[in-house]
Structure 1
Amino acid sequence: MRRLRLPRAVLLFIGLLAAPAFAASTSAAGDGATAAELDRIVDGIRARYRLPGVAVAVVEDGRASYRRTAGVLALGEGAAVGPGSLFKIASNTKAMTAAALARLVDAGKLRWDDPVARYLPQFRMSEDWVTREFQVRDLLIHNSGLRAGAGDLMLWPEPNAYTRADILHGLRYLRPQHSFRLRYAYDNLLYIVAGEVAAVAAGAPYEVALQREVFEPLGMRGCRVGAWTPGAGDELAQPHARRGDRYVVVRRDGAAIPASTMDPAGGVRCGLDDMVRWLQAWLDPERRGADGKPWLSAEQRRAVWAAQMPMPVSARQRDWSRSRFSAYGYGWRLGDVHGEFKVSHTGTLMGMYSLVAMLPDRRAGYVVLINGDAGDARSVFDQVLSERYAPPPQPRDWTRYAAEIAREEAAPASRRAPDTSARTAARRAALAPWLGRYRDPWFGEASVCAQGDTVRFVAGKSPLLSGKIQQVGGRWLVDWDADEVDVEAWLDFARAPDGGITLGMSKVDPDADFSYDYEDLAFARIGDCG
């Protein structure tokens, strides 16, 4: 997820690390030559992208054949990343939510083809027939017909005041782009609903159910979800975002970690050692829980990794990996790399990137945790680590992939964002016909009101979505106050046929992170500025 999938990073390609704070690292592997080669890859990628901190592990034949941690928890503070340091794994949480449901299926507490409304009578989609037909399995496979990231503005930017009840209520107002079950479009909200289904079936809140069904039986004792207070021994990797040519800490943790509405879609934190246990649980079909019983039945293992929804195969997948298929299972992406079956997922939140991947037929997998906006670095890690078990016809070095990504991003055609540098602060007189309070049926209220001679947009339940309105030619955009909100929005005012005033929004950069789903908003003016 960014944020359950937040902003997609655009990293700059700059020189090697020099700062002493980046020097601390640890590594371990059973084979010296293999360890040295993997160290070279980790060090090279980390240096190229100047990653604040990174944790990497490789699992082969049931054991961790390689572990490596390097860098710091927070730049400028010196504490080194270690094997127990907690990273936000973001959307890699989705596979854990799916696993909790699979365990409940094994226990006879629900079925994949049960209607969602059996567990959550308040569940509604915009069309009644979709509500009736929506099964538990559909919550996990991104086939709802909604736009990618629909409703994500109820999840982030955080903090905000939206609850899971708000999400269940708001779904009915989100209009589909396609018919139900017709095509793949990534969503986060329905994983929140999946978490609520798990809670009802388990007879406990989602966070308790996840502990009970996943963390405790697999010995993942360091993983955290929900509200908790870090102790003296807890090591929390802090998220970092690009500011010009350097990383800075953003969204720093406070003394207490609050529960998050988005926990079932992307709220878990784990350290490297616990992520190794997670890989081992999937790579070993005979894996048993702490009670000595099989953690998951063979039937449910097959179900979770069965292709449920076709996904498009990207040009990069075809060119780099000779991929021929791509699909979504229950919380996992499925595909092929040079003829080898691959199961994987990524996680993206502002300043935190994760990667989990397995090649089951090779009994191998790997995990990468990064506390910085590092989409390109993650892509390079994924490709070179997968090719250790699914080699291409000719060996390739990681630098080749880094260079190809740099060329792609430097191509003029890769950027569709307009030039908005010639902007001026919108004046009260120019926006006078449109000033007022507005309401969207799922997002809630927002205001477009004057402050002196300037005009501000302020969201009622999402305080970070506040900013000054700017004029660019004949259009209006919002320049958000918070650096964490890095996707600006166009504002489009109009008069409805009944004489009322409407407000639509859209991303200034059409290629920005889809979780900024401004396009799903349909505001109507409800009153004057107060």
Structure 2
Amino acid sequence: MNKPRFHHVFALLAAMSLSSHAAKPGDAAINAAFDDAVARYHLPGLAVGVVQDGEIVYSRTSGELAAGTGKKIDNGTLFKIASNSKAMTAAVLARLVDAGKLKWTDPVAKHLPQFRMYDPWVAREMQVRDLLIHNSGMGAGAGDLMLWPEPNEFTRADVIKGLAYLKPVYSFRSRYAYDNTLYIVAGEVAAAAGGAPYEELVRREIFGPLGLSRCQVGEWSRDAVGNVAQPHTRSGGRNIVVNADGETIRAIPMAAAGGIRCSLNDMLKWAQMWLAPDRFGVVDSKPWLSQAQRDAVWTAQMTMPLSKRMRDWDDSHYSAYGYGWRLTDVDGTQKVSHTGTLSGMYSSLTLLPEKKTGFVILINADADEARTVLNQTLVKHFTAPAQKRTVAYYAQRIAEEEHGGSVAAKAPDTSSRKAVAAPAMRDKLGIYRDPWFGEVSICPKDASVHFESKKSPMLAGTVMRVGDRLLVDWDNDRVDTEAWLDFAMGEDRPVLTMAKTDPNGDFSYDYEDLHFERIRDCP
């Protein structure tokens, strides 16, 4: 992470003062955390809001929709909330349970007869509830290459069909391993039971009744909706827009797992509904969600690992996953939360129900550490205010962990890479097919060999040699995890497997789940 350049700080603070909402004198600690996070991590945009006792007591924004445009972020700006969409998908299902249209214990196949898993027994036994709690036995991020990088041509039908080819790495229901693909299945279960497409259900069951008037899902017009934050990365000492929206935002297969966008105002209303349901969860004089289903989504359904950091920072005693929510304890009080992470967009929603408090963080940047330290500072502001923890304190704790902790496996040095000439790969050239990812071509292009995916066009690049191994140097810099290519001879044809060159690379690049067989010659 880049260190702050102090000659930029005053300009940053001046910009923040222009775009921030007025704050109360008692908000000094939150303001300080906000200011430090923006300055320390050079955030292009940040929105933070706090709910206490059912009221919005703090709301502040900073920065620009896209760096250099002068268009300011405000409380109505749309951000990608990424995996905070999962709680909304779970809520749609909970509403359908209340309506008697499905049960948590229904077999998935009851609603989706085409549903398959690698093990037929697992497919028969998997219940609707299992789709939401990361207990399938698949590895973390299995099948995510059908979702990212965007844009691609995979459909929800492709995702559901592909599950049958994703070999598990654990026993069913034996342990937690985060996945996105089964949330897509959950969205299609909701569609089947609810009699409408997933996107329509979200609008009908959540956005409309709760007044989340700016939230968007499915296909919509960027300019007609307006005020849309763009994702950024940090490069060359400045923030650069990546994966900018076109005029039409397309409907995407992964909406139920992480495809919803909302504003700070919307997310604060969402928090109010969970924290004060008697005031904000009543629609047409009836509870928007029954107490039984509120309890269900916040009940520990699957044990999660309790990290050393959670024990050291928060004195936590348990960690678990509910239906679309992470559950733990902090300083003796309940914490219900989730984060959302997409390239160039980070979000966080944290609820402290016993303190009737919650807060939202939305950032339009690659901001892992920034989100962590700001979120932790705000948690401690409410659970242990006497400790007076700051962003600087937690940034230092992370630096100490990285310096004194166990040494993670390092990415190998691949700087000696050289493009491979086609004759040197004569026996490996061709069109290859994986049963869930589809076709890729490894064929001559100009004076080298090019890898191209048929359905994921961003996964295209030049084949390089590094020592005695081959890798793909992706053409698009947004594909930030490179892959080794390993060829072997199968029973009657060449086969290809792949693996991340960086063992710490994003698990959503699940190259290790691919197994290609050569099916024909290059054109």
TM-score w.r.t. structure 1 length?
Answer: 0.95
Pairing partner for 2:431 from 427, 437, 450: 437
Tell me the distance in 2 between the aligned counterparts of 1:263 and 1:138. Answer: 19
The alignment status of 1:266 with 2:286, answered yes or no, reads: no
Equivalent AA in structure 2 for residue 219 of structure 1: G
Tell me the distance in 1 between the aligned counterparts of 2:142 and 2:170. Answer: 12
Aligned-residue CA RMSD in angstroms? 1.5
> Which residue is equivalent to 1:305?
298
Tell me the distance in 2 between the aligned counterparts of 1:250 and 1:409. Answer: 28
> Which residue is equivalent to 1:353?
346
Pairing partner for 2:486 from 469, 474, 492: 492
Equivalent AA in structure 2 for residue 319 of structure 1: D
Aligned counterparts, 1:414-453, within 5 A = 414=408, 416-453=410-447
> Which residue is equivalent to 2:110?
118
Pairing partner for 2:178 from 167, 186, 190: 186
Deviation at 1:231, TM superposition (A): 4.1
Tell me the distance in 2 between the aligned counterparts of 1:350 and 1:363. Answer: 32
> Which residue is equivalent to 1:404?
397
Would the aligned equivalents of 1:22 and 1:72 in 2 still touch at CA under 8 Å? no
Between 58-67 and 422-431, report the one with greater CA deviation. Answer: 422-431
Structure 1 47/414 Cα, relative in aligned 2: closer, same or farther at 3 Å? farther
Deviations 1:222-275 (Å, cap 9, x if unpaired)?
Answer: 100000113456200000012243321011111111101111111110000010
Tell me the distance in 2 between the aligned counterparts of 1:392 and 1:226. Answer: 41
Q: SS where residue 145 of structure 2 aligns?
A: helix
Would the aligned equivalents of 2:138 and 2:166 in 1 still touch at CA under 8 Å? yes
The alignment status of 1:293 with 2:286, answered yes or no, reads: yes
The alignment status of 1:461 with 2:455, answered yes or no, reads: yes
Equivalent AA in structure 1 for residue 169 of structure 2: Q
> Which residue is equivalent to 2:368?
375
> Which residue is equivalent to 2:307?
314
Equivalent AA in structure 1 for residue 504 of structure 2: D
> Which residue is equivalent to 1:8?
none
Would the aligned equivalents of 2:381 and 2:388 in 1 still touch at CA under 8 Å? no
Deviations 1:382-441 (Å, cap 9, x if unpaired)?
Answer: 111111221177432221111222344456924521111111111212222111110000
Would the aligned equivalents of 1:408 and 1:414 in 2 still touch at CA under 8 Å? no
> Which residue is equivalent to 1:15?
5
Deviation at 1:34, TM superposition (A): 2.3
Q: SS where residue 349 of structure 2 aligns?
A: strand
Would the aligned equivalents of 1:219 and 1:290 in 2 still touch at CA under 8 Å? no
Would the aligned equivalents of 1:28 and 1:35 in 2 still touch at CA under 8 Å? no
Tell me the distance in 1 between the aligned counterparts of 2:238 and 2:306. Answer: 33
The alignment status of 1:331 with 2:324, answered yes or no, reads: yes
Tell me the distance in 2 between the aligned counterparts of 1:60 and 1:379. Answer: 21
The alignment status of 1:275 with 2:289, answered yes or no, reads: no
Q: SS where residue 491 of structure 1 aligns?
A: strand
> Which residue is equivalent to 1:504?
497
The alignment status of 1:236 with 2:231, answered yes or no, reads: no
Q: SS where residue 46 of structure 1 aligns?
A: helix
Equivalent AA in structure 1 for residue 187 of structure 2: G
> Which residue is equivalent to 2:63?
71
Tell me the distance in 1 between the aligned counterparts of 2:385 and 2:137. Answer: 36
TM-score w.r.t. structure 2 length?
Answer: 0.96
> Which residue is equivalent to 1:365?
358
Equivalent AA in structure 1 for residue 129 of structure 2: R
Gaps in structure 1 of 5+ consecutive residues = 1-10
Equivalent AA in structure 1 for residue 270 of structure 2: W
Would the aligned equivalents of 1:27 and 1:39 in 2 still touch at CA under 8 Å? no
> Which residue is equivalent to 1:160?
152
Equivalent AA in structure 2 for residue 82 of structure 1: D
Equivalent AA in structure 2 for residue 93 of structure 1: S
> Which residue is equivalent to 2:199?
207
Deviations 1:78-131 (Å, cap 9, x if unpaired)?
Answer: 101000000000000000000010011011111000000011000000111101
Deviation at 1:293, TM superposition (A): 1.4
> Which residue is equivalent to 1:109?
101
Tell me the distance in 2 between the aligned counterparts of 1:153 and 1:41. Answer: 36
Tell me the distance in 2 between the aligned counterparts of 1:513 and 1:435. Answer: 28
> Which residue is equivalent to 1:475?
469
Deviations 1:6-58 (Å, cap 9, x if unpaired)?
Answer: xxxxx3233244456944322344xx332222111101111100000000001
Structure 1 47/431 Cα, relative in aligned 2: closer, same or farther at 3 Å? same
Deviations 1:297-331 (Å, cap 9, x if unpaired)?
Answer: 11000000000000001121111111111100000
Equivalent AA in structure 2 for residue 106 of structure 1: D
Would the aligned equivalents of 1:216 and 1:290 in 2 still touch at CA under 8 Å? no
Would the aligned equivalents of 1:352 and 1:372 in 2 still touch at CA under 8 Å? yes
Tell me the distance in 1 between the aligned counterparts of 2:501 and 2:401. Answer: 21
Between 280-289 and 139-148, report the one with greater CA deviation. Answer: 280-289
Equivalent AA in structure 2 for residue 246 of structure 1: R
Pairing partner for 1:149 from 123, 141, 152: 141
Aligned counterparts, 1:20-39, within 5 A = 22-23=15-16, 24-29=18-23, 32-39=24-31
Greater per-residue helix proportion: 2
Deviation at 1:481, TM superposition (A): 0.4
Between 427-436 and 442-451, report the one with greater CA deviation. Answer: 427-436
> Which residue is equivalent to 1:129?
121
Q: SS where residue 388 of structure 1 aligns?
A: helix
Equivalent AA in structure 2 for residue 328 of structure 1: Y
